[in-house]
């Protein structure tokens, strides 16, 4: 709870709550999201939109309870879902499908059609809105959507299919995981030249399609990554705001101004 409060009061734009490498505990997630609710900031800016937007990374696509996991993290109020190790178009399309409600009557005919179970009351309460069901859709597929589908590419197969994955309607961002990618390629370090070549392949696909590309960074490379064309960068881990996180954040903001 203390960490949630510190993060919500920080200068970060977003946080990614990791439920892939930690227990999939929805009640703990609910408590964390409530801890991030900063009523003072809401009052000051007269807006319910959080300053620090929470996204959640879930386990890899393919488990039997995958659709249920997506539904549960969205139902407690997450603003987006990160899907690790997406290797092909079919998995990317399933990710988008899991996040979308079945279309309401009169809605634009947008595909892929949604499979998310309909129980918007909890998320609507957390967001503080009455029209949650209409805005809880994936951007940019739905221009009025407020949810983000973040597709992680972390394997050679995903790299090879990246130019097709970025074209799946509803994919909001591509996130490259250098550590897992290097391991999948057989390299101990993500700094191997072959890994960097793969990273640039994915980035090129994103730049060509206009899909934002994200990557992990630190003080030593955040500026270079932004100059390369990455539009989203992470600058720390979930242990709080460290000195290196603050330094990387400061450098990154300076490079964007």
Residue 85: band (very low, low, confident or very high) from pLDDT cuts 50, 70, 90? very high
Gap between the Cα atoms of 121 and 182, Å rounded: 42
Residue 199: band (very low, low, confident or very high) from pLDDT cuts 50, 70, 90? very high
Task: Return the percentage of the chain with pLDDT > 70, whole number.
Answer: 89
Residue 257: per-residue pLDDT: 67
Residue 146: per-residue pLDDT: 95
| CATH fold label, 2-216 | TIM Barrel (3.20.20)
**Residue 16 annotated to the active site:** no
Is residue 136's pLDDT more than 90?
Answer: yes
- Mean pLDDT score, 169-186: 96
What are the boundaries of each domain within the chain?
Answer: 2-216
Residue 86: band (very low, low, confident or very high) from pLDDT cuts 50, 70, 90? very high
Least confident of 52-56, 63-67, 109-113, 114-118: 63-67
- Give the pTM: 0.84
Question: Annotated catalytic residue: which of 21, 39, 40, 143?
Answer: 21
CB 5 within 8 A of CB 41: no
For 201-232, the pLDDT digits (tens) are: 999 999 999 999 999 988 888 899 999 999 99
Buried residues in 227-245 as b, exposed as e (16+ CB within 10 A): eeebbbbbbbeeeebeeeb
Least confident of 42-46, 70-74, 172-176, 193-197: 42-46
- 3-state secondary structure at position 29: helix
Residue 178: per-residue pLDDT: 94
Instruction: Work out the widest C-alpha separation in the chain, in whole angstroms.
Output: 52
Residue 7: per-residue pLDDT: 83
- Cβ burial of 108 (10 Å; 0-12, 13-18, 19+) is exposed
The pairing of beta strand 138-139 with beta strand 80-83: unpaired
Cβ-based neighbour number of residue 112 at 10 Å = 19
């Amino acid at each position: 709870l203390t960490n949630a409060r510190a993060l919500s009061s920080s200068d970060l734009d977003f946080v990614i709550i990791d439920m892939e490498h930690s227990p999939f505990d929805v009640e703990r997630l609910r408590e964390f999201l409530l801890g991030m609710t900063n009523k003072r900031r809401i009052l000051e800016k007269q807006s319910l939109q959080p300053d620090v937007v929470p996204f959640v990374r879930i386990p890899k696509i393919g488990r039997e309870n995958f659709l249920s996991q997506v539904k549960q993290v969205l139902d407690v109020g997450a603003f987006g879902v990160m899907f690790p190790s997406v290797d092909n178009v079919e998995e990317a399309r399933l990710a988008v499908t899991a996040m979308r409600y079945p279309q309401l009557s009169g809605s634009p005919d947008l595909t892929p059609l949604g499979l998310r179970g309909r129980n918007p009351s909890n998320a609507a309460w957390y967001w503080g809105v009455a029209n949650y069901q209409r805005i809880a859709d994936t951007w940019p597929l739905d221009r009025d959507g407020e949810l983000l589908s973040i597709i992680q590419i972390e394997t050679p197969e995903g790299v090879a299919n990246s130019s097709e994955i970025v074209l799946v309607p509803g994919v909001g961002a591509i996130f490259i995981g250098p550590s897992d990618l290097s391991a999948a390629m057989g390299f101990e370090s993500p700094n191997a030249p072959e890994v960097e070549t793969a990273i640039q392949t994915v980035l090129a696909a994103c730049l060509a399609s206009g899909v934002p590309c994200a990557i992990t960074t630190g003080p030593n490379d955040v500026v270079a990554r932004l100059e390369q064309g990455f539009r989203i960068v992470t600058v720390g881990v979930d242990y709080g705001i460290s000195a290196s996180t603050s330094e990387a954040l400061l450098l990154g903001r300076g490079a964007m101004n």
